[in-house]
Amino acid sequence: MASALFNSLVAWADDQLVLGHRLSEWTGKAHVLEEELALANMGLDLIGQARNLYQYAAEVENAGRSEDDLAYLRSERDYRNLLMLERPNTDFAHTMLRQFYYAAFMQRYWQALTGSRDERLAAIAAKAVVELQYHRRHSAEWVIRLGDGTEESAARMTDAVNTLHRYTGEMFDTSADLRALIDDGIATDPHTLRTEWEADVRSVFDRATIAWPEEEPPTQRGGRDGIHTEFLGLLLAEMQSLHRAHPGQTW
Amino acid sequence: MSTPDTPLWEVFIRARQGLHHRHVGSVHAPDTTLALQAARDVYTRRGEGVSIWVVPANAITASDPVDKDMLFEPASDKIYRHPTFYDIPDDVGHM
Protein backbone atom coordinates (compact mmCIF):
# COMPACT_ATOMS: atom_id res chain seq x y z
CA MET A 1 0.00 0.00 0.00
CA ALA A 2 2.90 2.37 0.73
CA SER A 3 4.20 2.01 -2.83
CA ALA A 4 0.72 2.54 -4.31
CA LEU A 5 0.38 5.72 -2.27
CA PHE A 6 3.90 6.88 -3.16
CA ASN A 7 3.40 6.27 -6.87
CA SER A 8 0.06 8.07 -6.94
CA LEU A 9 1.37 11.05 -4.95
CA VAL A 10 4.30 11.35 -7.37
CA ALA A 11 2.01 11.14 -10.40
CA TRP A 12 -0.18 13.95 -9.04
CA ALA A 13 2.87 15.98 -8.06
CA ASP A 14 4.37 15.53 -11.54
CA ASP A 15 1.13 16.91 -13.02
CA GLN A 16 1.31 20.05 -10.91
CA LEU A 17 5.04 20.59 -11.42
CA VAL A 18 5.04 20.11 -15.18
CA LEU A 19 2.01 22.35 -15.74
CA GLY A 20 3.36 24.89 -13.24
CA HIS A 21 6.65 24.97 -15.15
CA ARG A 22 4.83 25.45 -18.45
CA LEU A 23 2.97 28.44 -17.00
CA SER A 24 6.22 29.88 -15.67
CA GLU A 25 7.52 29.90 -19.26
CA TRP A 26 5.06 32.72 -19.97
CA THR A 27 6.97 35.06 -17.66
CA GLY A 28 8.05 38.05 -19.72
CA LYS A 29 6.03 36.98 -22.73
CA ALA A 30 2.34 37.55 -21.94
CA HIS A 31 0.42 40.15 -23.93
CA VAL A 32 -0.40 42.32 -20.91
CA LEU A 33 0.99 42.68 -17.40
CA GLU A 34 -2.32 41.62 -15.85
CA GLU A 35 -2.27 38.26 -17.62
CA GLU A 36 1.42 37.78 -17.03
CA LEU A 37 0.76 37.90 -13.29
CA ALA A 38 -2.31 35.71 -13.60
CA LEU A 39 -0.25 33.02 -15.37
CA ALA A 40 2.57 33.29 -12.84
CA ASN A 41 0.09 33.13 -9.95
CA MET A 42 -1.45 29.95 -11.32
CA GLY A 43 1.99 28.47 -11.92
CA LEU A 44 3.04 29.20 -8.35
CA ASP A 45 -0.17 27.65 -7.01
CA LEU A 46 0.64 24.45 -8.90
CA ILE A 47 4.30 24.35 -7.88
CA GLY A 48 3.22 24.82 -4.26
CA GLN A 49 0.85 21.88 -4.59
CA ALA A 50 3.64 19.83 -6.18
CA ARG A 51 5.89 20.55 -3.20
CA ASN A 52 3.24 19.42 -0.71
CA LEU A 53 2.74 16.20 -2.64
CA TYR A 54 6.48 15.48 -3.14
CA GLN A 55 7.17 16.13 0.54
CA TYR A 56 4.47 13.68 1.55
CA ALA A 57 5.66 11.16 -1.07
CA ALA A 58 9.24 11.40 0.25
CA GLU A 59 7.99 10.71 3.78
CA VAL A 60 5.91 7.77 2.61
CA GLU A 61 8.85 6.32 0.69
CA ASN A 62 11.17 6.82 3.68
CA ALA A 63 14.28 6.16 1.60
CA GLY A 64 16.16 9.35 2.32
CA ARG A 65 15.00 11.18 -0.81
CA SER A 66 13.80 14.79 -0.55
CA GLU A 67 11.22 16.75 -2.54
CA ASP A 68 14.10 18.20 -4.58
CA ASP A 69 15.44 14.73 -5.37
CA LEU A 70 12.02 13.73 -6.66
CA ALA A 71 11.58 16.86 -8.75
CA TYR A 72 15.09 17.32 -10.11
CA LEU A 73 16.78 13.95 -10.17
CA ARG A 74 14.26 11.75 -11.92
CA SER A 75 14.44 11.34 -15.68
CA GLU A 76 11.74 11.50 -18.31
CA ARG A 77 10.77 7.84 -18.06
CA ASP A 78 10.27 8.21 -14.30
CA TYR A 79 7.83 11.11 -14.69
CA ARG A 80 4.16 10.14 -14.51
CA ASN A 81 2.40 13.36 -15.54
CA LEU A 82 -0.49 13.52 -18.01
CA LEU A 83 0.63 14.05 -21.60
CA MET A 84 -1.60 17.11 -22.03
CA LEU A 85 0.30 19.00 -19.34
CA GLU A 86 3.72 18.63 -20.95
CA ARG A 87 2.57 19.96 -24.32
CA PRO A 88 4.17 23.24 -25.37
CA ASN A 89 2.31 26.45 -24.62
CA THR A 90 1.97 27.12 -28.39
CA ASP A 91 -0.12 30.26 -27.93
CA PHE A 92 -2.39 31.89 -25.36
CA ALA A 93 -5.45 29.99 -26.64
CA HIS A 94 -3.73 26.61 -26.21
CA THR A 95 -2.46 27.59 -22.78
CA MET A 96 -5.86 28.74 -21.55
CA LEU A 97 -7.75 25.77 -23.00
CA ARG A 98 -5.29 23.32 -21.42
CA GLN A 99 -5.69 25.14 -18.12
CA PHE A 100 -9.46 24.98 -18.42
CA TYR A 101 -9.59 21.28 -19.38
CA TYR A 102 -7.33 20.42 -16.45
CA ALA A 103 -8.75 22.77 -13.82
CA ALA A 104 -12.34 21.81 -14.64
CA PHE A 105 -11.33 18.25 -13.78
CA MET A 106 -8.85 18.86 -11.00
CA GLN A 107 -10.98 21.24 -8.92
CA ARG A 108 -13.50 18.42 -8.74
CA TYR A 109 -10.88 15.79 -8.06
CA TRP A 110 -9.33 17.78 -5.22
CA GLN A 111 -12.83 18.38 -3.87
CA ALA A 112 -13.40 14.62 -3.82
CA LEU A 113 -10.02 14.03 -2.15
CA THR A 114 -10.94 16.37 0.72
CA GLY A 115 -13.01 13.39 1.88
CA SER A 116 -10.03 11.02 1.76
CA ARG A 117 -9.44 8.63 4.63
CA ASP A 118 -5.81 9.82 4.48
CA GLU A 119 -5.85 13.03 6.53
CA ARG A 120 -2.62 14.41 5.10
CA LEU A 121 -3.91 14.00 1.54
CA ALA A 122 -7.27 15.51 2.53
CA ALA A 123 -5.45 18.56 3.92
CA ILE A 124 -3.37 19.01 0.76
CA ALA A 125 -6.57 18.72 -1.28
CA ALA A 126 -8.43 21.27 0.85
CA LYS A 127 -5.73 23.85 0.19
CA ALA A 128 -5.55 23.08 -3.52
CA VAL A 129 -9.27 23.03 -4.26
CA VAL A 130 -9.80 26.79 -3.89
CA GLU A 131 -6.74 27.47 -6.04
CA LEU A 132 -8.03 25.24 -8.82
CA GLN A 133 -11.49 26.78 -8.56
CA TYR A 134 -9.90 30.10 -9.48
CA HIS A 135 -7.85 28.54 -12.31
CA ARG A 136 -11.03 27.07 -13.73
CA ARG A 137 -12.90 30.36 -13.51
CA HIS A 138 -10.10 32.43 -15.01
CA SER A 139 -9.34 30.06 -17.87
CA ALA A 140 -13.05 29.53 -18.64
CA GLU A 141 -13.53 33.28 -19.05
CA TRP A 142 -10.71 33.34 -21.57
CA VAL A 143 -12.00 30.30 -23.48
CA ILE A 144 -15.33 32.11 -23.79
CA ARG A 145 -13.78 35.41 -24.90
CA LEU A 146 -11.36 33.89 -27.38
CA GLY A 147 -13.91 31.46 -28.81
CA ASP A 148 -16.55 34.18 -29.13
CA GLY A 149 -14.03 36.91 -30.00
CA THR A 150 -12.47 37.83 -33.33
CA GLU A 151 -12.04 35.58 -36.33
CA GLU A 152 -8.39 35.17 -35.40
CA SER A 153 -9.02 34.31 -31.73
CA ALA A 154 -11.81 31.86 -32.64
CA ALA A 155 -9.54 30.12 -35.15
CA ARG A 156 -6.81 29.77 -32.54
CA MET A 157 -9.21 28.42 -29.92
CA THR A 158 -10.64 25.92 -32.42
CA ASP A 159 -7.11 24.86 -33.30
CA ALA A 160 -6.39 24.37 -29.59
CA VAL A 161 -9.48 22.16 -29.21
CA ASN A 162 -8.44 20.10 -32.23
CA THR A 163 -4.98 19.63 -30.76
CA LEU A 164 -5.71 19.11 -27.06
CA HIS A 165 -9.07 17.36 -26.86
CA ARG A 166 -7.57 13.93 -27.57
CA TYR A 167 -5.42 14.25 -24.43
CA THR A 168 -8.31 14.83 -22.00
CA GLY A 169 -9.32 11.17 -21.71
CA GLU A 170 -6.11 10.32 -19.86
CA MET A 171 -7.29 12.40 -16.88
CA PHE A 172 -9.95 9.78 -16.17
CA ASP A 173 -7.71 6.70 -16.40
CA THR A 174 -6.98 4.56 -13.37
CA SER A 175 -3.58 2.96 -12.84
CA ALA A 176 -3.20 -0.20 -10.77
CA ASP A 177 -1.73 1.93 -7.97
CA LEU A 178 -4.62 4.36 -8.04
CA ARG A 179 -7.07 1.45 -8.11
CA ALA A 180 -5.54 0.14 -4.89
CA LEU A 181 -6.00 3.54 -3.22
CA ILE A 182 -9.60 3.75 -4.45
CA ASP A 183 -10.37 0.34 -3.02
CA ASP A 184 -8.84 1.42 0.26
CA GLY A 185 -10.94 4.59 0.53
CA ILE A 186 -7.94 6.90 0.14
CA ALA A 187 -8.57 8.14 -3.39
CA THR A 188 -11.55 8.70 -5.69
CA ASP A 189 -12.05 7.07 -9.08
CA PRO A 190 -11.53 9.96 -11.55
CA HIS A 191 -13.95 8.29 -13.96
CA THR A 192 -16.86 9.14 -11.65
CA LEU A 193 -16.24 12.84 -12.40
CA ARG A 194 -16.24 12.54 -16.16
CA THR A 195 -19.92 13.30 -16.77
CA GLU A 196 -19.79 16.40 -14.61
CA TRP A 197 -16.55 17.53 -16.26
CA GLU A 198 -17.98 17.10 -19.73
CA ALA A 199 -21.14 19.04 -18.84
CA ASP A 200 -19.00 21.87 -17.51
CA VAL A 201 -16.78 21.98 -20.59
CA ARG A 202 -19.75 21.75 -22.95
CA SER A 203 -21.53 24.66 -21.26
CA VAL A 204 -18.40 26.83 -21.54
CA PHE A 205 -17.97 25.78 -25.19
CA ASP A 206 -21.61 26.79 -25.81
CA ARG A 207 -20.94 30.26 -24.44
CA ALA A 208 -17.70 30.38 -26.44
CA THR A 209 -19.56 29.27 -29.61
CA ILE A 210 -16.96 26.51 -29.91
CA ALA A 211 -18.08 23.13 -31.20
CA TRP A 212 -17.51 20.00 -29.10
CA PRO A 213 -15.54 17.65 -31.37
CA GLU A 214 -18.20 15.57 -33.10
CA GLU A 215 -16.02 12.56 -33.64
CA GLU A 216 -13.87 12.38 -30.58
CA PRO A 217 -10.37 11.39 -31.63
CA PRO A 218 -8.80 8.35 -29.92
CA THR A 219 -7.38 9.22 -26.51
CA GLN A 220 -3.63 9.79 -26.35
CA ARG A 221 -2.22 8.22 -23.21
CA GLY A 222 1.04 6.99 -21.79
CA GLY A 223 2.17 9.64 -19.34
CA ARG A 224 1.02 7.61 -16.34
CA ASP A 225 3.30 4.77 -17.55
CA GLY A 226 6.28 7.04 -18.20
CA ILE A 227 5.77 7.01 -21.99
CA HIS A 228 5.99 10.67 -22.94
CA THR A 229 5.94 12.95 -25.95
CA GLU A 230 9.19 14.48 -27.15
CA PHE A 231 8.34 17.68 -25.29
CA LEU A 232 8.90 16.46 -21.73
CA GLY A 233 12.60 15.73 -22.16
CA LEU A 234 13.29 19.31 -23.21
CA LEU A 235 11.19 20.68 -20.36
CA LEU A 236 13.03 18.59 -17.78
CA ALA A 237 16.43 19.45 -19.28
CA GLU A 238 15.73 23.12 -18.71
CA MET A 239 13.98 22.74 -15.36
CA GLN A 240 16.58 20.39 -13.87
CA SER A 241 19.76 21.93 -15.32
CA LEU A 242 20.48 24.25 -12.42
CA HIS A 243 20.03 21.57 -9.78
CA ARG A 244 22.08 19.04 -11.73
CA ALA A 245 24.89 21.55 -12.31
CA HIS A 246 24.92 22.65 -8.66
CA PRO A 247 23.69 19.71 -6.58
CA GLY A 248 22.35 20.66 -3.17
CA GLN A 249 22.45 24.38 -3.92
CA THR A 250 20.00 26.44 -1.85
CA TRP A 251 18.68 29.99 -2.05
CA MET B 1 -1.88 50.66 -22.94
CA SER B 2 -5.53 51.66 -22.85
CA THR B 3 -7.30 50.68 -26.05
CA PRO B 4 -10.99 50.77 -26.97
CA ASP B 5 -11.06 47.02 -26.27
CA THR B 6 -9.23 47.14 -22.95
CA PRO B 7 -10.20 50.29 -21.07
CA LEU B 8 -8.69 51.38 -17.78
CA TRP B 9 -10.28 50.39 -14.44
CA GLU B 10 -9.51 51.87 -11.05
CA VAL B 11 -9.06 49.25 -8.32
CA PHE B 12 -10.22 49.61 -4.71
CA ILE B 13 -9.41 47.00 -2.09
CA ARG B 14 -10.65 46.43 1.44
CA ALA B 15 -7.81 45.01 3.48
CA ARG B 16 -10.07 43.49 6.11
CA GLN B 17 -13.55 43.64 7.55
CA GLY B 18 -14.31 46.95 9.19
CA LEU B 19 -12.02 49.03 6.99
CA HIS B 20 -13.17 50.77 3.87
CA HIS B 21 -12.02 50.17 0.33
CA ARG B 22 -8.90 52.09 -0.61
CA HIS B 23 -7.66 52.98 -4.04
CA VAL B 24 -4.61 50.83 -4.85
CA GLY B 25 -4.04 51.33 -8.57
CA SER B 26 -5.49 50.43 -11.92
CA VAL B 27 -5.69 47.61 -14.49
CA HIS B 28 -6.61 47.23 -18.14
CA ALA B 29 -9.34 44.74 -18.96
CA PRO B 30 -12.06 44.25 -21.57
CA ASP B 31 -14.98 43.90 -19.14
CA THR B 32 -16.02 43.82 -15.47
CA THR B 33 -15.38 40.09 -14.99
CA LEU B 34 -11.83 40.18 -16.27
CA ALA B 35 -11.19 43.52 -14.56
CA LEU B 36 -12.01 41.90 -11.20
CA GLN B 37 -9.78 38.92 -11.99
CA ALA B 38 -6.94 41.18 -13.12
CA ALA B 39 -7.27 43.25 -9.94
CA ARG B 40 -7.15 40.05 -7.89
CA ASP B 41 -4.06 38.83 -9.74
CA VAL B 42 -2.18 42.13 -9.67
CA TYR B 43 -3.08 43.60 -6.27
CA THR B 44 -3.89 40.77 -3.83
CA ARG B 45 -0.91 38.46 -4.37
CA ARG B 46 0.40 39.04 -0.85
CA GLY B 47 -2.87 38.73 0.98
CA GLU B 48 -3.78 42.39 0.77
CA GLY B 49 -7.53 42.09 0.55
CA VAL B 50 -10.88 40.54 1.35
CA SER B 51 -12.96 42.55 -1.11
CA ILE B 52 -12.31 44.25 -4.46
CA TRP B 53 -14.15 47.00 -6.33
CA VAL B 54 -13.32 47.91 -9.90
CA VAL B 55 -14.65 51.12 -11.42
CA PRO B 56 -14.32 52.26 -15.04
CA ALA B 57 -11.73 55.03 -14.88
CA ASN B 58 -13.81 57.20 -17.20
CA ALA B 59 -16.69 57.03 -14.70
CA ILE B 60 -14.67 59.07 -12.24
CA THR B 61 -15.10 62.83 -12.37
CA ALA B 62 -12.03 64.55 -10.95
CA SER B 63 -11.56 68.05 -9.59
CA ASP B 64 -9.45 70.38 -11.67
CA PRO B 65 -6.02 71.21 -10.15
CA VAL B 66 -6.58 74.81 -11.24
CA ASP B 67 -9.43 75.02 -8.71
CA LYS B 68 -7.21 73.88 -5.84
CA ASP B 69 -7.19 77.19 -3.96
CA MET B 70 -10.88 77.83 -4.40
CA LEU B 71 -11.87 74.34 -3.29
CA PHE B 72 -9.42 73.55 -0.53
CA GLU B 73 -7.84 76.71 0.81
CA PRO B 74 -10.92 77.79 2.80
CA ALA B 75 -10.62 74.65 4.98
CA SER B 76 -6.98 75.10 5.89
CA ASP B 77 -7.45 77.57 8.81
CA LYS B 78 -10.46 75.92 10.45
CA ILE B 79 -8.79 73.53 12.83
CA TYR B 80 -11.90 73.41 15.03
CA ARG B 81 -13.42 71.09 12.42
CA HIS B 82 -10.89 68.36 13.26
CA PRO B 83 -12.11 65.85 15.83
CA THR B 84 -8.73 65.97 17.60
CA PHE B 85 -10.18 67.67 20.68
CA TYR B 86 -11.98 64.52 21.77
CA ASP B 87 -10.71 61.32 23.39
CA ILE B 88 -11.87 58.26 21.47
CA PRO B 89 -12.36 55.18 23.66
CA ASP B 90 -10.18 52.23 22.62
CA ASP B 91 -13.26 50.04 22.23
CA VAL B 92 -14.44 52.07 19.27
CA GLY B 93 -11.73 50.59 17.08
CA HIS B 94 -11.29 51.91 13.56
CA MET B 95 -13.02 55.19 12.79
Question: What distance in Å separates residue B8's CA from the closest CA in chain A?
Answer: 12
Q: How confident is the model at residue B95 (pLDDT cuts 50, 70, 90)?
A: low
Q: What is the nearest CA distance from A136 to chain B, expressed in angstroms?
A: 12
A149 to chain B, closest Cα gap in Å: 11
Task: Give the minimum alpha-carbon distance from B19 to chain A in angstroms, rounded to a whole number.
Answer: 25
The 10s digit of each residue's pLDDT in B40-87 is 999 999 988 999 999 999 999 999 999 999 999 988 888 888 777 778
Q: Does A89 touch chain B (CB under 8 A)?
A: no
Q: CB within 8 A of B75, min separation 6: which ones?
A: B81
Q: Which one is predicted more confidently, A38 or B93?
A: A38
The complex's ipTM works out to 0.84
- B19: contact with A, CB 8 A cutoff: no
Question: Is the Cβ pair A34, B28 closer than 8 Å?
Answer: yes
| Mode of pairing for the β-strands spanning B51-56 and B8-14 | antiparallel
Contacts of A33 in chain B (CB under 8 A): 42
- What pLDDT is recorded for position A249? 81
From the list B29, B33, B45, which residue is nearest A34 (CB)? B29
pTM of the model: 0.91
Site from B2, B41, B46 to mutate, A interface, most A CB atoms within 10 angstroms? B41
Low pLDDT (below 50) residues in chain A: none
The pLDDT, as a whole number, for residue B2 is 63
A35 inside 8 A of chain B by CB: yes
Residue-level pLDDT at B17: 86
- Residue B90 has a pLDDT of 84
Selecting from 2.40.50.140, 3.40.50.720, 1.20.1260.10, 2.102.10.10, what CATH number does the domain A2-245 have?
1.20.1260.10
Contact B6 A37 (CB under 8 A): no
Q: How confident is the model at residue B1 (pLDDT cuts 50, 70, 90)?
A: low
| C-alpha dihedral sign at A34, A35, A41, A42 | positive
Q: What is the pLDDT of residues B7-32, one digit of tens each?
A: 999 999 999 888 999 999 999 999 99
